[in-house]
Structure 1
Amino acid sequence: MVAHAIANRVVVYYQTQYRNGVYVSPLPLIGYVTHLLLAAFHLNMGHTGPDIVHLNDFQPSDPFFAPMWPDIAALQGNGTKVIGMLGGAAPGTYDCLVDSLFDTYYPPLRDVIETYKLDGMDLDVEQSVSPATITRLILELKADFGEDFLITLAPVASALTEGGNLSGFDYIDLEANIGPHISWYNAQFYSGFGTIFPKDQYDRIINYEQGIDPSRVTAIVLTNPSNGFGYVSPENVVASIQDLMEEYGTGWGGVGGWEFFNSLPDDSRPEQWAITMKNAMQVQKAKIEAKQREIEAREAQERSAVRSRMFQRSAREN
């Protein structure tokens, strides 16, 4: 069974740990993000032992990350789930996980997950990968780390309606075959593969074929136009949040940002992007719940009035 995740997620990718030589701490995100996606883990073909797994340019144990790991633990201690992102734009990682190489390259990845107590893995597949390879990886991770271990996938948004796809396998088929083992999808709504504003493409994903529950589709957007093509301003993301929650209710999956270090509207305080998104969802949730309470109160009054009329009619007849 899938590890159930909270609704209204605020997901932030954290790949740039240093900006102009200065460490960028994720600690200001405490209380505002539900999940931090630590990017990007890679598997290196031909390497041996601990050098098989790199986090960006270094082994995870490198002194480069010395200030980061205590901060990661602090986020987890304050309720934020930390998920490692595996793959991304750099090719090669998933070539290491074909059946003939799996027993060589998977165990070091498993060891890193255990060592750093990651809460899950985000599988960002941007190379041609067979359905068998991605299925085996998902099932092995579940077997090793249990049902509470979060496994997310990061397709470009169009792949969830069988359009443009960087992964090689069909996500709709994957969802049909092993959907219960996938916690949710971090769908990339940028780089020409989709946009979150307006919300039409998100709607098409939910309504496509058998559909994916909107609680399991998190919309990932760019946090700064320098991070790629297809930037949407925080104001327009908020507008779509309002529309999407009006459509899908308070259980909606939420939004995420690529990436943390230079997030607008204020890249000197990049946590402001996450704060803006969390506040927008809280405000919309409160509006929806208040409206629901009004409806329930009106219906209760109507039922009471009906009972009163029936009682009066019965009294007259007797």
Structure 2
Amino acid sequence: MKAARHSRVFTMVLSLVLSVALLVTFIPAASAADRGAWAPNVSYAVNDTVTYNGATYKCIQSHTSLVGWEPSNVPALWGLTQGGGTGGGGGGDVTAPSVPTNVRVTATTSTSVTLAWNASSDNVAVAGYDVFRGSTLAGSTNGSTLMFTNYGLAASTSYTFTVKAKDAAGNISAASGAVSTTTGPTDPGGGGGSKLPKHTLTGYWQNFVNGSSNVRLSAVPNEYDIIVVSFADMDSSKPGGVTFNVDSGLSSALGGYTNANLISDIQAKHTQGKKVILSIGGEKGNIDLSTASPNVSNFVNSMYGLITQFGFDGIDIDLEHGLNVANMTSAVRQLQQKVGSNFVLTMAPQTIDMQYATSSYLQLYNNLKDITSVINVQYYNSGCMLGRDGKCYSQGTVDFLTALSDLTLQWVAPSQLGIGVPATSSAAGGGYVTPQVVNQALGCLATGTGCGSYKPVAKYPDIRGAMTWSINWDATTGYKFATTVKPYLNSMP
């Protein structure tokens, strides 16, 4: 979670609450039991079962529940029990939906396949559909959506798909009949941000004043390869639209820094081979893409206008309050097509957004991975999170960075994954590590050596790099983060 524009108190309190609530992991708990309906402010032990919205869930790690930690929202804490009823007597729904029929391919490109199918039926209601590419879950839809597009595929490659229906109680149908197709030949367009180094350093430039250093874009040191201007604002007059101008408070603090100054500084960064992109979201920001029309077109048109006006190279997706995968996919695709092959796309999901394969961010990545430059996971303000080995690791350690990265590398290509950390202990509510620890984690992931207690399951020499929140906080230490981490990235093969 990024620093607040005016206060960091909320994130610090949230991090403290998360950490305290999860400390009960280390306290002996009562024997696992059927606990009935889920409720907040209750202590749950590993293997306890609860019901929520007609489905049965099993506790993965001990914790004291809070509002917002409903089982369907936090897969790091709760696992859905397949086919589970309400427990203790078999009174729940145990009937699976019927198998989807007439699964068919309706369109293909060099990097995507679009499928459609006929609706399933259920004794209560069909909640959604899971689409599988071979044995891999490619994505999911809701109960009323009978089509799905799998983006980010390889050109001239054969793929086989099946579909399963599911209900709210966790009952899942058998797989549909398989359908196979081959993607088209290589598209000469492409994307992903050309001319970036193999190992990149990303930093966020704050367009607001919050206690860190106030920095003109021209003062950003040469070590940063991608400069993320944060943040665009929601246009309240146009659903889905965005606006951006140099913040008045920052302008005053810098002695009259204007849009024209920023435009000139961006042009100068381009002559140095740097990429400057505009971020949407942040801790308090959001973009309304809940509806396809007119929101998607408003987003594309307004963002393209800003890219043209300021000279931005692309966008960063830092939405921390949920996102509509289908509409965001459509919006980014349309924007990339308008900008062209040099479009740069980065994402900054929170740690919890990368805990399971069907999260919104991973669905979005699967849809857009052919044009994604890097996903910089925010390994901070996270509390304790599950690594690839199923153990809970505390933030602010090399093991947290490597175990959580190893988990994500099941689903994200190493060449598209970056380690995101705060530049100083003041930049986030928790999760700070020294730049030397960042280098240790990068080396461990790339070579399998110099690790802490956690050993990655493989070596990832193509690991993309690192990110920090923020360049402004880094400036308070004389850019210690950039001048320590970037040389290490340059030394990597």
Q: TM-score under structure 1 normalisation?
A: 0.74
Shift of 1:179: 2.2
Shift of 1:85: 0.8
Residue of structure 2 equivalent to 1:218: 418
> Which residue identity lines up with residue 190 of structure 1 in the other structure?
Y
> How far apart, CA to CA, are the structure 2 residues paired with 1:79 and 1:30?
13
Q: Does 1:170 align with 2:381?
A: no
Q: Which of 263, 267, 272 is equivalent to 1:78?
A: 272
Shift of 1:21: 11
The residue correspondences of 1:233-312 to structure 2 (distance < 5 A) are: 233-247=434-448, 248=459, 250-263=461-474, 267-269=476-478, 271-283=479-491, 285=492
Change (3 A) 1:261 1:16: farther
> How far apart, CA to CA, are the structure 2 residues paired with 1:104 and 1:176?
24
Instruction: Decide whether the 8 Å contact of 1:161 with 1:172 is kept in 2.
Output: no
SS of aligned partner of 1:262: helix
Q: Does 1:39 align with 2:230?
A: yes
Q: Deviations over 1:216-269 (max 9, x none)?
A: 011110011222122112222122122122144542210010011122xx7252
Q: Deviations over 1:176-221 (max 9, x none)?
A: 33321323212111111664722111111112xxx21111011110
Structure 1 or 2: more helix by fraction = 1
Change (3 A) 1:190 1:23: closer
Change (3 A) 1:120 1:110: same
SS of aligned partner of 2:433: coil
> How far apart, CA to CA, are the structure 2 residues paired with 1:107 and 1:96?
17
Residue of structure 1 equivalent to 2:243: 53
Change (3 A) 1:67 1:20: farther
Change (3 A) 1:218 1:273: same
Q: Does 1:6 align with 2:197?
A: yes
Structure 2 unpaired stretches of 5+: 1-189, 386-394, 449-458
Q: Which of 196, 200, 204 is equivalent to 2:403?
A: 200
> How far apart, CA to CA, are the structure 2 residues paired with 1:173 and 1:147?
22
SS of aligned partner of 1:148: coil
SS of aligned partner of 2:443: helix
Instruction: Decide whether the 8 Å contact of 1:38 with 1:82 is kept in 2.
Output: yes
> Which residue identity lines up with residue 443 of structure 2 in the other structure?
Q
Shift of 1:272: 2.8
Q: Deviations over 1:109-156 (max 9, x none)?
A: 210111111111001111222211111111111111112201122111
Shift of 1:66: 4.5
Shift of 1:277: 0.4
SS of aligned partner of 1:261: helix
Q: Percent identity, aligned pairs only?
A: 19
SS of aligned partner of 2:409: helix
Residue correspondences, number? 273
SS of aligned partner of 2:302: helix
Change (3 A) 1:141 1:135: same
> Which residue identity lines up with residue 445 of structure 2 in the other structure?
L
> Which residue identity lines up with residue 90 of structure 1 in the other structure?
K
> Which residue identity lines up with residue 25 of structure 1 in the other structure?
R
SS of aligned partner of 2:198: coil
Q: Does 1:189 align with 2:379?
A: yes
Instruction: Decide whether the 8 Å contact of 1:17 with 1:25 is kept in 2.
Output: no
Q: Which has the higher contact order (CA 8 A, sep 6+)?
A: 1
Q: Deviations over 1:23-71 (max 9, x none)?
A: 51344444311111111112222269xx95034746x999644443322
Instruction: Decide whether the 8 Å contact of 1:12 with 1:36 is kept in 2.
Output: yes
Structure 1 unpaired stretches of 5+: 290-318
Change (3 A) 1:111 1:188: same
Shift of 1:79: 0.9
The residue correspondences of 1:148-163 to structure 2 (distance < 5 A) are: 148-162=342-356
Shift of 1:19: 7.4
Deviates further, 191-200 or 80-89: 191-200
| Aligned-residue CA RMSD (Å) | 3.2
> How far apart, CA to CA, are the structure 2 residues paired with 1:214 and 1:21?
32
> How far apart, CA to CA, are the structure 1 residues paired with 2:299 and 2:366?
28
Q: Which of 296, 299, 313 is equivalent to 1:119?
A: 313
Shift of 1:18: 5.6
Residue of structure 2 equivalent to 1:139: 333
Shift of 1:20: 7.0
